[in-house]
Amino acid sequence: MPRRSTAIEASRSGNSHRRALFVAMGLVAWMLLIGGRLVQLQVSQHDDYTARARSQQLSSVETSATRGQLLDRQGRELARSIETESFFADPRDINDPTETAKRIASITGQDRADLANRLSTAKDANKKFYWIIRRLDVEAANKLDALELKGVYSRKEPKRYYPNDSLAAHVLGFVGLDEIGQSGVEQYYNEKIRGESGKVFLEVDRDKRAFESYEVQPRPGQTVVLTIDQTIQYRTEQALVAAVQRAHAKSGTAIVMDPQTGEILALANAPSFDPNQPPKDSAENRVNGALQTAYEPGSTFKIVAYSAAIEKGLVKPEDKIDCQMGQITVAGRLIHDHHPFGVLTIADALAQSSNVGAIKLGLLVGNESMYDYMKRFGFGSRTGVDLAGESPGMLAQVNRWQPSSIGSLAMGQEIMVTPLQMATAYSVLANGGMLVKPHVVRELRSPDGTVTFQAKLETRRALKPETAAALRNMLEGVTLHGTARKAQLGGYTAAGKTGTAQKVDPKTHTYSATKFIGSFVGFAPVKNPAVVIVVVIDEPQGSYHGGDIAAPVFREIAEQILPDLSVSPDVEIKPGTETIAQTSRPSPQQVKEDQAQTEAREATLPKVAAPSFSGQTKEVVFAVATKRAALMPDLRGQSVRDVARMCQQLGLRLEAHGEGHAMRQTPEAGAEVDPGRVVRVDFGRGN
């Protein structure tokens, strides 16, 4: 018995040890599993579960940064951000979406039924955030706050504000509800101006009720200093709008640019839009025609053929060219002039805007060289201006030209340009032959005032200085005795070129007989131009020639802004003329009598022949007038250009004979002359 008992006890003891071992092993396995899971949760999945926990515990709302200011070149404010109030809802807390929508709509003017439907939909979807209205004005926001609607909350948000309404709208651009720039500088420099958004974090309980919050502050955007001058921009817009209204035109564009630096002082389009309320204006009005709308330039493009021919040494301004009484055939295509011109000097062919003269020079230069000079002037490529949406225009490769293309291109057809490209091209002539990159931003400043970016002059040589100088003088002749007499300035010399181009009818794909674009591109003063001004009037009614509808706008703008730029007058006004009273223009009868007296005296004066390739005598007639009266100055020894300028100052009509320097004049020096009086001057090259 004792042995059996001992065996039983030993067996029981062994079972106990096995059970204990199994339990211990189970505990160890359980501890290993728990430990492994803890390691998994705390190490490998820690970040994931932490993020999930935070997302359940935190609610966040993004806060917009304050956009940087836009300033003109003088530091005057063109755009800033103002504080407004935006309202949002937690639809889950709204008991009656219909009643809530009704009360909100009574203040905001929103569609009540639509708002109620959207709130109900959001509530059914268990959404916790829904925007009701963004950036409400202070008065309406105060009224909505006073309602204390359950589930409706608000927060401060900046709103873009343009204190001058539509002034420089196409340069500034506008922003959307999300404070992202949609056009202009606002779009091009959006990342710099916008700054960095902030966030408000709300810690919530299981019922999503906030019990604590903290905020990451937004970082304000950079301030942009523009090249635009607010005063010059205003004067340019006023002149352009008035011209478009007078002409009952479809639209118009005007650009004022510093040809030495490429800085754009003003850029205007009419009609315009209000960037404070962009949806109220059509999308067409928001298009920046100055750099997005391409057109056939017509005669303003003739500078390419003239520049190429002169630079290559093929002609000189004083050389003669036969304009064939206004007709020329190119590859079977007959092209006419607006007037039947005979033999003219190269300079006069440009002044009178002869198509035949330009075409002959184009043929002389040749296809390859013409294309090269077009590219030199920047045509067919974007200027690189710091504004969004610029068009490169249209210039076909030489191998795609038709046999008659050289004739079309020489007079500004078969090519599409933008007004900004024309301003850049004429800057080449104004600044001595350099193609300068235009820009609208001078510098960027951080919120603490540190300059982070400053525009640099970017140029490349396009023409020789002497070629540019020759073209400047020739273009001055356009304003003195050519197609742009209405571009003459009071107190300043001016130069430029008119353009009148037919538009292509989109239905027939042929040139329209009723739709035109009138333009003028010019600069002043002539010797040291301070500004280049482009004026383009699209589809004027009635008179449509560039010299009639665009040149006067150039004059109006230039005469107002040159003094603003501290540019001194370069046309001498004799002290005596300043004290003479204003008088009215002479009667037609008086003009006839003056002309009769002049013709009678011509019989006693010898004719002075001008050197000519054809041996013909050339006469140039100037017809300029103002309302001033004066004593007749002594013109002897002066050049044709200087005499013409003096007569223009005194309001006299010049009849010039010959070339060289003044030898004889009628009336004589010291005689009293009334405005409109015909003055005959004989020029010669004698000693």
Is a pLDDT exceeding 80 seen at residue 200? Answer: no
Could you write out the DSSP letters of every residue in 647-671?
HHHHTPEEEEESSSEEEEEESPTT-
Instruction: List the single range of 329-343, 442-456, 506-520, 628-642 with lowest mean pLDDT.
Output: 628-642
Tell me what the mean pLDDT of segment 545-568 comes to.
96
Could you write out the DSSP letters of every residue in 260-294?
TT-BEEEEEEES---TTSGGGS-TTTTS-HHHH--
H/E stretch holding 85 reads strand 77-89
Q: In three state form, how does the secondary structure of 345-394 look?
A: EHHHHHHCCCHHHHHHHHHHHCHHHHHHHHHHCCCCCCCCCCCCCCCCCE
CA–CA dist 627, 632 (Å, integer): 15
pLDDT at site 267: 98
Q: 556 vs 158, which has greater pLDDT?
A: 556
In 163-283, alpha helices (H)? 169-172, 184-188, 190-194, 230-247
Q: What is the residue whose two structure tokens read 């030993």?
A: 10
Q: How confident is the model at residue 626 (pLDDT cuts 50, 70, 90)?
A: very low
Q: CB–CB of 439/386 below 8 Å? A: yes
pLDDT at site 90: 81
DSSP 81: E
Mention every residue, 6+ apart, whose C-beta is less than 8 A from residue 83: 156, 157, 158, 159
Handedness of CA 30, 32, 33, 35 (dihedral sign): positive
CA neighbor of 184 nearest in space, from 167, 198, 164, 207: 167
Is a pLDDT exceeding 80 seen at residue 440? Answer: yes
Q: 687 vs 389, which has greater pLDDT?
A: 389
CATH classification number, 575-684, choose in 3.40.50.150, 3.90.79.10, 3.30.465.10, 3.30.10.20: 3.30.10.20
Q: 622 vs 164, which has greater pLDDT?
A: 164
pLDDT at site 259: 98
pLDDT at site 473: 97
Domain map (residue ranges) of the chain: 2-44, 60-226, 230-564, 575-684
Q: What is the per-residue pLDDT across 315-341, written as a single tens digit (0 to 9) for each? A: 999 999 999 999 999 999 999 998 899
Tell me what the mean pLDDT of segment 452-468 comes to.
97
pLDDT at site 687: 47
Q: 465 vs 579, which has greater pLDDT?
A: 465
Q: What is the per-residue pLDDT across 93-130, written as a single tens digit (0 to 9) for each? A: 787 888 888 888 888 888 888 888 888 887 777 777 77
Regarding beta strands 70-71 and 223-226, do their DSSP bridges make them parallel or antiparallel, or are they unpaired? Answer: parallel
DSSP 639: B
Percent of the chain with pLDDT over 90: 54
Q: How confident is the model at residue 28 (pLDDT cuts 50, 70, 90)?
A: confident
Tell me which CATH code domain 230-564 carries. Answer: 3.40.710.10
pLDDT at site 655: 79
Is a pLDDT exceeding 50 seen at residue 613? Answer: no
Mention every residue, 6+ apart, whose C-beta is less than 8 A from residue 526: 472, 473, 476, 493, 494, 495, 570
Q: CB–CB of 541/517 below 8 Å? A: no
Q: How confident is the model at residue 648 (pLDDT cuts 50, 70, 90)?
A: low
Percent of the chain with pLDDT over 70: 83
CA–CA dist 628, 673 (Å, integer): 10
Could you write out the DSSP letters of every residue in 431-477?
TTSEEE--BSEEEEE-TTS-EEEE----EEE-S-HHHHHHHHHHHHH
Q: What is the dihedral of CA 297, 298, 304, 307, to 10 degrees?
A: -130
Q: What is the mean pLDDT of the chain?
A: 84
Q: How confident is the model at residue 131 (pLDDT cuts 50, 70, 90)?
A: confident
Look up the CATH superfamily of 60-226. Penicillin-binding protein 2a (Domain 2) (3.90.1310.10)
CB atoms within 10 A of CB 50: 10
Is a pLDDT exceeding 90 seen at residue 191? Answer: yes
Instruction: List the single range of 279-293, 523-537, 590-604, 623-637 with lowest mean pLDDT.
Output: 590-604
CB atoms within 10 A of CB 473: 14
Tell me what the mean pLDDT of segment 69-84 comes to.
93
Q: Where are the beta strands (DSSP E) in 143-193?
A: 152-161
Q: CB–CB of 610/617 below 8 Å? A: yes
pLDDT at site 51: 67
CA neighbor of 319 nearest in space, from 343, 297, 300, 284: 343
Q: How confident is the model at residue 657 (pLDDT cuts 50, 70, 90)?
A: confident
Q: CB–CB of 438/383 below 8 Å? A: yes
Tell me what the mean pLDDT of segment 427-437 comes to.
98
Tell me what the mean pLDDT of segment 417-443 comes to.
98
Is a pLDDT exceeding 60 seen at residue 168? Answer: yes
Tell me what the mean pLDDT of segment 471-491 comes to.
96
In 528-681, alpha helices (H)? 546-549, 551-564, 575-578, 588-602, 640-650
CA–CA dist 617, 610 (Å, integer): 6
Q: What is the per-residue pLDDT across 364-388, written as a single tens digit (0 to 9) for each? A: 999 999 999 999 999 999 999 999 9
Q: How confident is the model at residue 6 (pLDDT cuts 50, 70, 90)?
A: low
CA–CA dist 98, 634 (Å, integer): 90
Q: What is the per-residue pLDDT across 224-249, written as a single tens digit (0 to 9) for each? A: 999 999 999 999 999 999 999 999 99
CA–CA dist 239, 557 (Å, integer): 7
